[in-house]
Amino acid sequence: MRPFTSRKVRVLAAGGALALAVTACGGQSGSDTESGGGAGKAPLVFGTTDAFGTVDPSGSYDNPGWEILYNSAQTLLSIPPGGSTPKPDAAEKCEFTDPKTYTCTLKKDLKFSDGSPLTSKDVKFSFDRMLKIADPNGPSSIFADQLASTEAKDPQTAVFHLKFADATWPFRLTTAAASIVPDEKYPAGKLQPMGNDKIIGSGPYKMTKYDPTQQIVLEPNDQYKGEKKLSNSKVLVQIYKDEKSLKSAVESGEVQVAYRTLTPTLLKDLEQNGASKKVKVVKGSGTGIQYVAFNNKKGPFAKKEVRQAAAALLDRQSIASGVYNNTVTPLYTMVPKGLPGHEEKFRSAFGDKPDLAKAKSLLQKAGVTTPVTAQLWYSPDHYGEASADMFAEIKRQLEAGGLFKVSLKSASWEQYKKDYAAGAYDGWQLGWYPDFPDTDNYLSPFYAKNNFIGAGYGYSNPQMDKLLTQEKSTPDQQKRQQAFSQIQTIATEDVPLIPLWQDNMIAAVRDGVSGVKDTFDPLYTFRFWLVDASKAQ
């Protein structure tokens, strides 16, 4: 990824306490501005191969689901396109009233898409519900360590009582996990049944159809009050089973935007030959990453020396060039290039080329019998067809010196999530898109005791937890940077997972379609309302 200049997170300090105040003003308020309803505009047809699961905010924790939520629900705060700091969304203002108390005043007269009023009671319900459900594949880990309780002080005021001072708290409120839902319409102690997902939100769109294998339809929400102006009359998300079908769809004009996922080979063909079919490839900086997670409790990777040996044998550049045609960049830490605190500690510890002697020495000293037999899993319907090629290359690298014997397995995304969370896999492919633009969001979700990967991962280190709490608790950026460095050092010693690469945002777009580039930023949020397809060719 290229560095995103002027996007460093800043948290202000006043009187020694966290004092980040977010207040609606000027064009950011939009409290009396309607979405415009997309009147007189054309529909946007958006094609993808994404595997969609639940869109219940208490259960959704992947990019496809969050994309729908970001466009159809509201959060108290949000990060505007191209921005790096939270701005008011459903809130009129939010501020720390003391280091562990964060108070938000809601905008007046907000309504959900069904016409019911949005009050602080709904805010409290949304957070209480998520923490109560604590879905193993859901997003509760974003808040579980920080949030002690949520209070509906009065209909317009929501108060968050934190367990400790947290410099990242305002950013956490911008995530789709913080989507506000009506307390009378969602089950309090369980997720909506799969296949019957509904979104009752207060965002610029309302979801009117949800078939996660074929089509999702978003139409203008006439109850919406906010600053997001719709550039289209509605959005049709067309879901394709494979990348070749998606490419054919954008070439024929069946879809106007093809996004996630086109294989590197297909993208190269479109770059070279797309003009003849009125298609262009649009790219933007990205901070999405992929990595291999290990079962740290049982199986062949329970010993850290085995994980270290695997790290010593990987050649990321070979993966980037041979599998992805250099559309991705080798990554030697979980913190992507462009974010504060990025240090290539895996390169320092294990090099950037396979080191057979080092791997052999690690295994011998630990008394590990070779070859180490292991299964590695991947999910092509979620991460794309290139996943199979990548894991074939990883298998080749691990087996080249005779130290490992690897068998490859794949599963559909819904089954895959359940299996790895239950500890059924030795090692498995995962990816990550940022929840919010702060370095901690590439550390705590993977290295904290209550990490998002779950029990099947089984990683915990008290020193790591201490450092993660320290960096979140201080507004002092120098102290945070010191903690980030120490965290990455421990991660390299423990190797609970291995970072592989970071990507770019890439879409194939019909000529005449505008706004796609505007929605490409490190948040990885495709903001449908910005895209105008009225002049699509």
Residue 309 CA to residue 489 CA, distance in Å, equals: 17
What residue ranges define each of the domains in the chain, with the CATH number in brackets? 37-285+505-537 (3.40.190.10), 289-503 (3.10.105.10)
Q: Which residues contact 204 (CB under 8 A, 6 or more apart)?
A: 35, 71, 72, 220, 221, 224, 226, 228, 230, 529
Model pLDDT for residues 228-266, shown as the tens digit of each residue: 999 999 999 999 999 999 999 999 999 999 998 898 899
Low-confidence ranges of the chain (pLDDT < 70): 1-40, 195
This prediction has a pTM of 0.78
User: Residue holding tokens 């009117």?
Assistant: 208
Neighbour-count burial of 405, counting CB atoms closer than 10 A to its CB (0-12 exposed, 13-18 middle, 19+ buried): middle
pLDDT score for 90: 98
Q: Could you tell me whether strands 13-14 and 17-18 are parallel, antiparallel, or unpaired per DSSP bridges?
A: antiparallel
Written as six digits, the tokens of 227 are 């600053």
**H helix runs in 188-338, sequence order:** 243-252, 264-273, 304-313, 316-322
CA angle 251, 253, 256 (to 5 degrees): 100
CB contact at 8 A, 445 and 491: no
pLDDT score for 455: 86
Residues in the chain, overall count? 537
pLDDT score for 28: 35
Residue 231 CA to residue 221 CA, distance in Å, equals: 13
> What residues does 47 pair with on adjacent strands?
238, 258
Q: Is 451 left (phi over 0), alpha (psi -120 to 50) or beta?
A: beta
pLDDT score for 12: 27
Phi (first) and psi of residue 501, to 5 degrees: -160, 165
CB contact at 8 A, 189 and 37: no
CA distances from 146 to 126, 143, 195, 458 (A): 16, 5, 32, 21
pLDDT score for 261: 84
Model pLDDT for residues 29-63, shown as the tens digit of each residue: 333 334 555 556 999 999 999 989 999 999 999 98
pLDDT score for 17: 35
Question: Cβ of 99: how many Cβ atoms within 10 Å?
Answer: 17
Q: Is 424 left (phi over 0), alpha (psi -120 to 50) or beta?
A: alpha
pLDDT score for 433: 86
Model pLDDT for residues 83-133, shown as the tens digit of each residue: 888 999 999 999 999 999 999 999 999 999 999 999 999 999 999 999 999
Residue 472 CA to residue 142 CA, distance in Å, equals: 12
CA torsion angle 178 64 317 265 (round to 10): -160
At 209 the three-state DSSP class reads strand
CA torsion angle 395 398 402 407 (round to 10): -30
pLDDT score for 23: 61
Eight-class DSSP state of 225: B
Residue 153 CA to residue 101 CA, distance in Å, equals: 12
CB contact at 8 A, 62 and 53: yes
